[in-house]
Amino acid sequence: GAVVSQHPSWVICKSGTSVKIECRSLDFQATTMFWYRQFPKQSLMLMATSNEGSKATYEQGVEKDKFLINHASLTLSTLTVTSAHPEDSSFYICSARDRDRGVQETQYFGPGTRLLVL
Amino acid sequence: GENVEQHPSTLSVQEGDSAVIKCTYSDSASNYFPWYKQELGKRPQLIIDIRSNVGEKKDQRIAVTLNKTAKHFSLHITETQPEDSAVYFCAAYNFNKFYFGSGTKLNVKP
């Protein structure tokens, strides 16, 4: 149980295009999903917290107009990188918390999406 | 906000030896401390966690200790094996957010 998927796993795009990444909880309902960014050989940096049915909460320094987050259902959150540029190239990982599990803090990670902007 | 520091950044041990990774945190409100193992290009996987009302927790070869007064917690891996080689991250949780350490690359030499 507690499986989180991400799609796509790999994406290469041209500079200026927008890219949408999906994060799904497959066997549980997630009221909260987190979006992280990870540069090579670095730690996970929290970008935003996504709550179902409400606006995402962005971390300081993360442009909300650049990284659009939508959490329209209890099993799906999307991250759209708008007008992507080479510096947006990174590994994006989502995680989700199971609404119905007793241990509320536990988060389950998706497999990540590697974005390369040319 | 919370600040989590992790040491060392790299750790090389001989197979069978023990490995210890240490983290400190700054916010006394943090109350949950998970440890993750991440292999190259893959998702972080929870290997052990501890809550602020517990001082130590053990799961087979892995143990975590927490000193709330000093605000530090440590991961202990005994009888290391080559498959333990990976990057390990500590994290602290408070106010609905996770704050990660910078990671430790563990290399277990056969």
User: What chain A residue is nearest to B40 in terms of C-alpha separation?
Assistant: A41
Report the gap between the CA of B44 and the closest CA in chain A (Å): 7
Residue ranges of chain B with per-residue pLDDT less than 50: none
CA dist B90 to A19, B8, B14, B21, B98, Å? 30, 12, 22, 9, 10
pLDDT tens digit sequence for A41-82: 889 999 999 988 888 999 999 999 999 999 888 899 999 999
A21: closest CA of chain B, how far (Å): 16
Confidence class of residue A1 from pLDDT cuts 50, 70 and 90? Answer: low
Residues of chain A neighbouring B101 (CB-CB closer than 8 A): 43
* Separation in Å, CA of A109 to nearest CA in chain B: 6
Closest by Cβ to B89, choosing from A44, A106, A112: A44
Mutate to test the interface with B, among A32, A43, A107 (most CBs of B within 10 A): A43
DSSP conformation class of A35: E
Q: Is B32 on the interface with A (CB under 8 A)?
A: yes
CB atoms within 10 A of CB A5: 14
End-to-end CA distance of chain A: 37
Please tell me the predicted confidence (pLDDT) of residue A30: 87
